[in-house]
Amino acid sequence: MANFIFKRLFYGILVFFGVLTVVFFLFTILPGDPARMMAGQQVDEATLRAIRSEMGLDKPVWAQYGHYVTDLLPVGIVEANDCAENEKITEQKPSKIFRLLHLGHSCLVLKIPSLRTSWQSRREVTSILADALPKTLILAFVSIIFAMFCGVALGAVVAAVDKEWLNRAVLVVTVFGMSLPSFFAAVLIAWIFAFLLADYTGLSMFGSLYSVDHYGLGSQLELKNIILPAFTLGIRPLAIVTELTRSSVREVLAHDFVRTAKAKGLKNRQIIWRHALRNALNPVVTAVSGWFASLLAGAVFVEYVFDWKGIGVVIVDALEKFDLPVLMGAVLIIAVMLIIINTFVDIVYGILDPRIRIRT
């Protein structure tokens, strides 16, 4: 089991550095000049060179990549002079850096991994992500709860009724829900429910979880603003959960213990909700755990359409402004959460089913 866990953790680290490498080099080959966007169009070349030097853009791409990876690592090697300066910092901020070993002209230090500062706003990337990440987590959590409860209920009802026309209708709806792109679905749902039917629904096309008054003195919780984004984001997992529940319940209904329950005189509703559904939820739970991780990445387009101030809006703004530290930080946070959730699920599977450990 220890070997299985070690392999899963090692694969997770490889995936993390793979995402880091691909995103970093894709960003560097995009046309555009972050230094000019930061300084404006009316600026001389000397100022641009100074800005590029400050941002580290005057170095080769591989050197930029190496410096960024070094900033992410919890340990690093710095020059002796820098180490002396860092020791002064240590006296003021003990949690910032700690010297482990002196290596002649350099020293090995223990430090907090850094996502650097934004090139545009000059804010710490961790601060930007700390403001945006909770909103994305709330949106993903509400979406997956909606998909799970509605999908399980709908799938169980369809399996209990067992009508051919109803099965075909649900199959068409689930296939349509899976194939509908998130961006198009967000625009369509916002147009229908927040524009055409706004007088009846009372919903807005844009808005966050909290609204601030005109004077910025107070905020008010606006739960209605999460309805449309959560519904849009939950359409695809809803389709999956519905189909999985329908097929699983139908399979369980063919077992011997269900026929025994019917022979005892139990009503069909009691058999579905008390016996069949409990034994049919294993694949549903598996799908929900995987989809929750996917919703964190899939929320980008939905958040942007509904102006939900989460990670999605942060990523799009960083792309428009060529703000590499913010973009890298947001993508890496999503990648880490995906890796953690998937690795945790794999480990749980390995604990429950030893055959998985043997095959891997």
Q: Where are the domains of the chain?
A: 125-359
C-alpha span between 241 and 155 (Å, rounded): 8
The pLDDT tens digits along the chain (360 residues) read 778 778 888 888 898 999 899 988 888 877 777 777 777 666 777 877 887 887 788 888 888 888 888 888 887 666 656 555 444 444 334 445 565 566 666 677 777 788 888 888 888 999 999 999 999 989 989 999 999 899 988 888 888 887 888 888 888 888 888 888 888 889 999 999 998 998 889 888 887 777 666 555 556 777 888 999 999 999 988 988 998 888 888 888 887 777 787 777 777 777 777 777 777 777 777 777 777 777 877 788 898 889 888 888 898 888 888 888 998 899 899 888 888 887 887 777 667 656 655 555
Residue 28 neighbours by CB under 8 Å, 6+ apart: 61, 64
SS (H, E, C) the chain: CHHHHHHHHHHHHHHHHHHHHHHHHHHHHCCCCHHHHHHCCCCCHHHHHHHHHHHCCCCCHHHHHHHHHHHHCCEEEEEHHHHHHHHHHHHHCCCCEEEEEEECCEEEEEECCCCCECCCCCCEHHHHHHHHHHHHHHHHHHHHHHHHHHHHHHHHHHHHHCCHHHHHHHHHHHHHHHHCCHHHHHHHHHHHHHHHCHHHHCCCCCCCCEEECCCCCCEEECHHHHHHHHHHHCHHHHHHHHHHHHHHHHHHHCCHHHHHHHHCCCCHHHHHHHHHHHHHCHHHHHHHHHHHHHHHHHHHHHHHHHCCCCHHHHHHHHHHHCCHHHHHHHHHHHHHHHHHHHHHHHHHHHHHCHHHHHHC
Helix (H, G, I), strand (E, B) or coil at 85: helix
Number of Cβ atoms within 10 Å of the Cβ of 47? 13
Per-residue pLDDT, 142: 92
Question: For the domain 125-359, what is the CATH code?
Answer: 1.10.3720.10
Contact status, residue 306 vs residue 229, Cβ threshold 8 Å: yes
Distances, alpha carbon 340 to alpha carbons 38, 240, 289, 345, 346, in Å? 35, 22, 11, 9, 10
Per-residue pLDDT, 91: 38
Contact status, residue 306 vs residue 231, Cβ threshold 8 Å: no
Query: C-alpha angle with apex 177: 175 to 182, nearest 5 degrees?
Result: 135
Residue 50 neighbours by CB under 8 Å, 6+ apart: none
Amino acid at the residue 294: S
Beta bridge partners of 101: 108
Per-residue pLDDT, 189: 92
Phi, psi of 215 (to 5 degrees): -95, -5
Beta bridge partners of 109: 76, 99
Per-residue pLDDT, 191: 92
Tokens 């329950």 appear where? 261
Could you tell me the two tokens for 278?
């409990």
